[in-house]
Structure 1
Amino acid sequence: MSASILLDQPGTVSYTNLDRIWGKVVVRCGKSIDVQSIVVKVEGESRTRLLAPPGPANERPKPQLEYHKILYKTQTVFPRPEILEANWSTSKNTFTLPPGTHEYQFSVKIPFNNSCASDVSQMGSMSISGSGIEVSKPPQSHVKKTLPPTLSGFPGEAEIRYFVKATVRRSSFWKENPRAYAPFNFLPIEPPRPTPSGNEVYARQRHAFASFPEGAPAVKAKMSSIFSKSKQPSALATSNEAPSISVDARLPESSILTCNDDIPLRILVKRLNKSDVGIFLQSLEISLIGITKVRAQDVHRTENNSWVIMSKSNMGVPIGAAFDPAGTEVPIAENLWRGQTLPNTVAPSFETCNISRKYQIDVRIGIGYYGSTKSWNKVREGDGSRIVGRIALLSSGTLERADQQTQPQTIILPLRLDVSVFSGIAPPPQLLDAMAQARTKSKPKPTLDTKTPLDEKLKAEQGREPDMAVPQTPMEGPSHDFPARQGAAMSSQLPIYEDAPPSYEDAVGTDLPPVDVPRPNYAPPPPLEDDVLRGDEKKGFGGRRDS
């Protein structure tokens, strides 16, 4: 006897909440076989395995395992209810399958939230590795939130996987139960997005370039005028005051990025003083930093991943004009990163019982400054490649000392912003309406004159109502401060929400149809045959034998 699972959707399609997984179980028999039942299970597992630090005597610690069954839906496809009713009087608990091929349809709906707080998740799990049998203790805490996405890329340490499993239960204890296994990718519906406010969040860095030696540019200009008989030798002489700049990386308020979409980023360079010499964009790199927190019992670990969105160097692009007044803001051309979408291997931000993922945007901008107006004019006239070539010669010391006044100064300014990555699967309007009605019925609206002890304390200390207090403006750190301080909204008046954004409840989505919206192509790294983390899957996928 053999069993297999055929899903109606191909394996590259990502399922989401409220979807129905349609398929069929195919059982092939070479002869008549007695079975008790054929059960289909749609399961999701979150597994972690970490090593604790060595003890005081440097003894080798035992691995800590934590296992959560975040999704567990079952459906009996054989025998059918009518067959059970026909055999109810005879108390027959086995049924005979004749030789041949038998197909059984199934359909299971994926809920909103994880179900690891149910009784089935309280059991421990067993894993067989090269060091022996490892048994995980029942988890002590759970987080009830939206189902997390499929996650891989941490072999032997952490994974979140979803699969459909079919088990043909035999009547004899000594005969193995045939099983079939079909994995699928899961990408959750994104939470409701806040209404756009037009404000921005930002990270900022300041830098002041060092001044070149006094008189050197003027002397060079004077020597040039003697041999060229120029009547205005001082016209090319530059001011001794070096440029001072401020660089901002800005995102719309709420800082939300979308899977398989570009980044709504703005980069602004602001002149803080009056200088006769221009500045130029030398390099630009934008990366997405993923911070994954893994927990196994009392052991914690943080893993970092990075995805380079774009990277360019040796650009030599002028930023504004050489004689821009103080306070001038120049935006960096957005076509440098527009169209560079997030990779399809990026999972949306999530939090589950033993694994969580959050993100940051890392912007590294290289800005240069030349010590003479003549050199700046070469960059402005499109001779940036010649200047870049001279930079390499200057570093090797092959140019004359008199020409070293054109040597540029280049600084790399790092900027970081905390962001949330959404799946791009928008909730349907029917779901938002149902959630709004459920919240209106279940929670009364708070009165406006309600005050907390903290409000009274602030009122006494500041001498005014707390809601009239002016929010603090984020300070601008020097260029060596890293990471950059993240600012609040660009507006002094922040929106006040009456309540937190609604969360999804399974009871609300019971009667809703599947989500019919465009879905991004989510392709996490293919999971490896992880014997250390999963154990012997032939005995129940993870060491647990199903009865």
Structure 2
Amino acid sequence: MVSACEVKIEAQELRPSNIFTSLDTIRGKVYVNVRSEISLSCIQIKLEGISQSIIREKHLVKRKEKEIAKLESHRLLYETRTIFPPKNVRQVSSAKEFTLTPGEYEYDFEFKLPLESSCGSNNAPTNGITNKFQVVRRNSDQLNSNNSAHFRGPLPPSLSDLGELGQINYFLKVTVKRTSIIKPNIRKFSPFRFIPFDSLEHLNSSSRELNFIRKEQVFKDKIPEIIAIIDKPQRPYSGQGYQTPPSPQRRSSSFLKTLFFGSSDDISQSSTSIPQPPPTPPKNEPPTITAYDVPFFFEARFNGLFQTVGKSPTYKLYVLSKANPKKYIGMNGESSGLGAVYLKNLKIELFIVTNVVSQEFKRQDYKVITLCQLSVSGKLDLAYARKSKAINEQTGSALHELEIPTSLYSNAVIPYSLVPNFKTCNMERKYKLKITAGFAETKDSKKIKEVSIDTWIDLIGGIPPPMASESIPARANLPTYADATGYR
């Protein structure tokens, strides 16, 4: 059966993928194609946003296991415009019914998207398809927004990655209201995607806040790769036979420690003392080699604890040393290899945590996506670390740093499909970033020590706020690392 009336909505797109944000003005036209004469009371277009959660649980009912569904729905946004009859007609006419003859009609509409949710304060209807009847589902219980507590805050983004567990939908809806109760109203929906613009709080924090997370690792009993050894000299030949020259004093472990980790007190010799013949070293005894602990930190450094979808990471990764780099330099002025650590693997994960409430039922949805995972064999030699503005939180002394090349993890991009953090009456979305690095003592070592650091972050959609450029301080005013951390 052909409908007597057909409706179409066309909204002007402001951005690709039909995305709108707060303070955008949605403009468009409603096209009504009337095939046969119809009677109606009005034609309305509505702007709506709904946050709905459904949690299903199994319970014993009369010794039988049944699935019970709890539904909770909140209308975050509700605005209505009457586009027919026009305003001038409504002002002079008290008629309850109008007639549209066959033909094509078009009506303009305009809405401005607000900054905050209006849940609990709008006059939206709460139940039913026709607003005259309430839908009741078997083995289910429904709670509408007028019957529950409300959270007033920024308008949340569209959400579709939880299935029926939780959804946030925005749409335009045209309703041709019929005067007869036996004739259904004619409706047309036009969904759109909503993403809030980036807050000035986040953007300003990127220019004034320096955050870091770090964790210490220690390679115990590490041996230098290059050892300074004084060889035992050969006994020269003379016509009177072999003569034994004075034997060099065997280098002790304290000498090797001095060699790699700084000076120590020399053994003083008085000018009046009588030289004593050196002891004869035991035959075939290897030189004494002392092992040392090599501590270091793995650190991630952020200018503001947030990341933007679709963009390369803005954080940077470092290896920090407590020791002065000179302690890892040998007698020849080159690295002894004692301070060399090898980055063997790197993994960056994003944890997606969504807390959902539906009446007395609660559920946490937990997902993990891997943004970056790679195997490498990169050498980071602490002998060449540069002095850092970072400090040792325990001692207050300066640290030395080596930056891990950003090219290794520049592809750790958060996909556009993820939405910014949000909170509504019945849902909350949070994100945690976890970075795991595996280090080895030598290039060919199979023994890898993994260090993991993690932090909660905010995700932003990459839509700049209005007049953002005038509100963000100049990058030249960035604080130092010490200023941001509070240590001098």
TM-score calculated relative to the size of structure 2:
0.70
Further displaced range: 320-329 or 20-29: 320-329
- Which letter maps to 1:351? K
Unpaired runs of 5+ residues, structure 2, are 129-133, 232-283, 329-336, 387-397, 472-482
- More strand per residue: 2
Q: Closer, same or farther in 2 for the Cα pair 1:492/1:66, shift >3 Å?
A: farther
Residues 65, 296 of structure 1: 8 Å contact kept = yes
Q: Closer, same or farther in 2 for the Cα pair 1:238/1:415, shift >3 Å?
A: farther
Q: Indicate the residue corresponding to 2:486 in structure 1.
A: 491
Q: Closer, same or farther in 2 for the Cα pair 1:309/1:72, shift >3 Å?
A: same
The 5 A counterparts of 1:446-485 are none
1:122 Cα offset (Å):
8.0
Unpaired runs of 5+ residues, structure 1, are 223-232, 371-378, 380-386, 388-406, 434-487, 494-547
Across the aligned residues of Structure 1 and Structure 2, the Cα RMSD in angstroms comes to: 3.6
1:93 Cα offset (Å):
1.5
Asked whether 1:248 is paired with 2:243, we answer no
TM-score calculated relative to the size of structure 1:
0.63
The 5 A counterparts of 1:496-515 are none
Q: Indicate the residue corresponding to 1:70 in structure 2.
A: 76
Q: Closer, same or farther in 2 for the Cα pair 1:432/1:306, shift >3 Å?
A: farther
1:181 Cα offset (Å):
0.6
Q: Indicate the residue corresponding to 1:301 in structure 2.
A: 363
Q: Indicate the residue corresponding to 2:96 in structure 1.
A: 93
Q: Indicate the residue corresponding to 1:8 in structure 2.
A: 12
Q: Indicate the residue corresponding to 1:461 in structure 2.
A: none
Further displaced range: 149-158 or 297-306: 297-306
Tell me, in whole angstroms, the C-alpha distance in 2 between the residues paired with 1:333 and 1:58: 61
Tell me, in whole angstroms, the C-alpha distance in 2 between the residues paired with 1:425 and 1:236: 66
1:6 Cα offset (Å):
1.6
- Larger Cα Rg: Structure 1 or Structure 2? 2
Tell me, in whole angstroms, the C-alpha distance in 2 between the residues paired with 1:174 and 1:335: 67
Tell me, in whole angstroms, the C-alpha distance in 2 between the residues paired with 1:136 and 1:324: 61
Tell me, in whole angstroms, the C-alpha distance in 2 between the residues paired with 1:12 and 1:101: 29
Asked whether 1:352 is paired with 2:355, we answer no
Tell me, in whole angstroms, the C-alpha distance in 2 between the residues paired with 1:72 and 1:59: 39
Residues 371, 411 of structure 2: 8 Å contact kept = no
Residues 202, 417 of structure 1: 8 Å contact kept = no
1:124 Cα offset (Å):
5.3
Tell me, in whole angstroms, the C-alpha distance in 2 between the residues paired with 1:234 and 1:345: 67
Q: Indicate the residue corresponding to 1:160 in structure 2.
A: 168
Residues 139, 297 of structure 1: 8 Å contact kept = no
Q: Closer, same or farther in 2 for the Cα pair 1:489/1:234, shift >3 Å?
A: farther
Q: Closer, same or farther in 2 for the Cα pair 1:208/1:168, shift >3 Å?
A: same
Asked whether 1:428 is paired with 2:466, we answer yes
**Cα deviation 1:480-520 (Å, max 9, x = unaligned):** xxxxxxxx952249xxxxxxxxxxxxxxxxxxxxxxxxxxx
Q: Closer, same or farther in 2 for the Cα pair 1:268/1:84, shift >3 Å?
A: same
**Cα deviation 1:290-339 (Å, max 9, x = unaligned):** 221111112222222334332211x1110125687995421111222236
Tell me, in whole angstroms, the C-alpha distance in 1 between the residues paired with 2:11 and 2:168: 20
Helix, strand or coil at the partner of 1:82: helix
Further displaced range: 241-250 or 28-37: 241-250
1:340 Cα offset (Å):
4.5
**Cα deviation 1:146-165 (Å, max 9, x = unaligned):** 10001111112100010000
Tell me, in whole angstroms, the C-alpha distance in 2 between the residues paired with 1:284 and 1:236: 38
**Cα deviation 1:410-438 (Å, max 9, x = unaligned):** 012111012112233333239999xxxxx
1:24 Cα offset (Å):
1.5
Residue 35 of structure 2 is aligned with which of 30, 33, 40? 30
Helix, strand or coil at the partner of 2:184: coil
- Which letter maps to 1:105? D
Residue 378 of structure 2 is aligned with which of 317, 338, 347? 317
Helix, strand or coil at the partner of 1:83: helix
1:363 Cα offset (Å):
0.5
Residues 124, 135 of structure 1: 8 Å contact kept = no
Tell me, in whole angstroms, the C-alpha distance in 2 between the residues paired with 1:95 and 1:118: 32
Further displaced range: 171-180 or 47-56: 47-56
Tell me, in whole angstroms, the C-alpha distance in 1 between the residues paired with 2:20 and 2:384: 56
Tell me, in whole angstroms, the C-alpha distance in 1 between the residues paired with 2:164 and 2:427: 14
- Which letter maps to 1:135? Q
The 5 A counterparts of 1:254-403 are 254-272=304-322, 276-277=337-338, 278-313=340-375, 315-320=376-381, 328-338=400-410, 340-370=412-442, 379=443, 387=444
Percent identical residues: 25
- Matched positions, count: 385
Residues 152, 160 of structure 1: 8 Å contact kept = yes
Residues 351, 433 of structure 2: 8 Å contact kept = yes
